[in-house]
A and B are shown apart, each in its own frame.
Chain A
Amino acid sequence: MSRTLYDKLVDAHKVCDLPDGDMLIYVDFHIMNEYTSPQAFSGLETRLLDVWRPEAHLAVVDHVNATRSSEPHDAASKLLIDNLQANCTKHGIAFYGLGDPRQGIEHIVVPEQGLVVPGMLIACGDSHTTTYGAYGALGFGIGTSEVEHVLATQTLRYKRMKTMRVTIDGDTAAGVTAKDIIMKVVQVVGAGGANGFAVEFAGSAIRDLDMAGRMTVCNMAVELGARAALIAADDITESALKGHPHSGQFTFNGESWDSDPEAVFDEEFSISGTDIEPLITWGTSPDHSVPITSNVPVAADYVSPKAKAALERSLQYMGLTEGQSAQSIKIDTAFIGSCTNSRIEDLREAAKILEGRQVATGVEAIVVPGSAMTRIKAEAEGLRAIFEAAGFEWRPEAGCSMCLAMNDDIAMDGERVASSTNRNFEGRQGRGARTHLMSPAMVAAAAVAGHLADVRDFK
């Protein structure tokens, strides 16, 4: 029988069926951070349980740490960091903490360390674990109770999801990046449009992406509600598996981690790659996006009173007027970072725009490389020099930083940020902060222009 890639991955990891309709699935690899794991470890302690297979876990510090220095910025964050380290020491789990040359944002660190291969099942107490789908691996986010469950049993209780395929065929235009592709998908399918689905991305526009681009796509699939995102493994995937610290551990024999040609999906979407333009979000949900050449919506575009009211609320929060042109939106801050877009490839794209240019007066521009290894590489390539010459602040430590503002990188009430991150919810980057999502190159363009700008105008 024809099977989808998702079904192959689930079948390959099924331990047994459970009487209530769930199954137990085996977790090959599990990643933890400092803020969704403490209560899982205390749960183990309460029940006097051991960690089933300590060598199959990795813990990193990324969400609460400062990025200006390798010292925690306050006592509360230090407590979380020290607590994770103590738990890892106690249970014999690998810990990449502050000052460790392997530290960084979990979803940047894992591929960089060579810890993901096609066919693997990966869980992590973080919603953007969908990122690993870029490798033809099944990655998904879990809550703290499930973190405890993986630690104690190396398995999870699991329900098979429905499958969706989003096919993007056709060459994308110059200036259109992986970020624009996934923002377009979120716009078409809708925030929450893939709740309950595992989504496979297919088509020539996806196959043409490098691994960094594929990770950006799978990363933000959670913004459409997908619990898992997948891209079939191919030659590009295979060549990305070599040369990392863990590479020798696995053998990838070119098994076909892809969907059978006849496989049937519960839902299908198709998008033309040639129709995609560089996008920005204007509102407070990731599907509130328009092309940079276009305008903020007007109430007359909407039929239902509910939608009109929602538009009004978003515009009010964002401090925008309906129909205002995207490029008239002035920014206070430019932020390049996050597990969506702080890989070396992203920094290179942004640096191309910044070379020989200056950040506009009054704009505060910050770049936080996704990991210590990314930072070192970028410095060696001369990217740091380009960013700094342009007027960007280059942060010496890696972390989530202003993506969710759980450390001291917080946007102020009313502050408007052009951001290479993944969520523009109310308060995401600080109480009252206004986030516009876009590709890292578009953030660089906005930083230079002082307002949202079209990257294609920066030749």
Chain B
Amino acid sequence: MIKGIVAPLPLANVDTDVIMPKRFLITITREGLADGTFADLRFDNAEQRRPEFVLNKPPWNQATILVVGDNFGCGSSREHAVWGMRQLGINACIGTSFAGIFYDNARKNGLALPVVSPEVRDVLLQLASKTSGAEISIDLGSRTIAAGDYTEPFEMDDATRTSLIRGRDDTLDSLEHAGAIRDFEAGLDDKMRISVIT
């Protein structure tokens, strides 16, 4: 169960460069990305917090869940966007549609992305806009979102849900199928067996 204060971020087509501007990508680690997250929305050119931005003012500065606009996470493949959101304390984003690579990156890092209809999203946006600080809970088990008496189902594919609940290591899990991978390779046609010239 994911529970917390929810903040509205209704902009459509928020791309990964808005989530994590490129100047924060010149790094070889996954760490230290919290400040880069939504940096140009949160800070002005003089690195001062923009008081008008939702995540900079109470109660939303406590938010751990976002309700977002259509096509969130479009653009580049950078996983830094998800790492940064997690480091900023975001556990879930509720939206109508997410870019494919962003969706997969989120799953690998424990960021839940429940998909709802535009109508439900708009209700949740209204709720999230309450200055009293609405709390909602996301139940991955039953695939429902609840806020007080209001409950709605959301969409999430089985594999993503299992991954989020169990927090697995996909790489090590997949290596348990090393035998099947070797069998597949043995049957590979020569014409697909690439050997890049070094």
Contact = CB atoms under 8 A, between A and B. Distances in A.
A146 B70 contact: no
B175 A152 contact: yes
Contacts, number: 203
B182 to A, nearest CB: 10
Nearest to B14: A425
B25 A406 contact: yes
Interface residues of A, number: 82
A348 to B, nearest CB: 28
A22 B104 CA distance: 12
Interface residues on B, range: 35 or more
A195 B98 contact: yes
Contacts of B159: 18, 20-22, 157, 159
A29 B190 CA distance: 13
B126 to A, nearest CB: 13
A16 B197 CA distance: 30
A445 to B, nearest CB: 27
Interface stretch (A36-44, A201-209, A352-360): A36-44
Interface string A130-154: 0000000000011111101100111
A146 B77 CA distance: 11
Contacts of A245: 197
Looking at chain A's contact residues, the main secondary structure is loop
A36 B192 contact: no
B71 A149 contact: no
Nearest to B98: A195
A28 interface: yes
Contacts of B18: 425-427
B79 A153 contact: no
B181 A24 contact: yes
Contact of B74 (A76, A149, A161, A225): A225
A153 B173 CA distance: 10
A434 to B, nearest CB: 15
Interface string B62-91: 000000001100111111101000000000
A26 B180 CA distance: 11
Given A56-B194, A143-B104, A249-B195, A20 B162 contact: yes
Interface in A11-59: 15-16, 18, 20-22, 24, 26, 28-29, 35-36, 38-39, 42-43, 47, 49, 52-53, 55-58
A39 B77 contact: no
A195 B99 contact: yes
A77 interface: yes
A146 B100 CA distance: 13
Contacts of A159: 157, 159
B87 to A, nearest CB: 13
Contacts of A80: 26, 28
Contacts of B10: 306
A373 interface: no
Given A20-B158, A153-B171, A146 B104 contact: yes
A423 interface: yes
Contacts of B109: 145
A428 interface: yes
A155 interface: yes
B101 A119 contact: no
B171 A191 contact: no
Contacts of B37: none
A417 to B, nearest CB: 16
21 contacts: A18-B159, A38-B29, A47-B171, A93-B196, A94-B198, A115-B194, A125-B77, A145-B170, A149-B170, A149-B174, A152-B171, A153-B174, A192-B99, A246-B194, A249-B194, A253-B191, A285-B12, A423-B15, A425-B17, A427-B18, A427-B21
Given A38-B29, A250-B194, 11 more contacts: A18-B159, A21-B157, A21-B158, A47-B171, A80-B28, A94-B198, A127-B77, A145-B108, A159-B159, A195-B100, A225-B74
The 9 closest A-B pairs by CB, nearest first: A192-B71, A38-B28, A143-B105, A143-B79, A145-B108, A227-B100, A94-B196, A21-B158, A144-B79
Interface of A: 15-16, 18, 20-22, 24, 26, 28-29, 35-36, 38-39, 42-43, 47, 49, 52-53, 55-58, 64, 76-77, 79-80, 83, 92-95, 113, 115, 117, 119-120, 125-127, 141-146, 148-149, 152-155, 157, 159, 161, 191-192, 195-196, 225, 227, 245-246, 249-253, 285, 306, 310, 404-406, 423, 425-428, 431
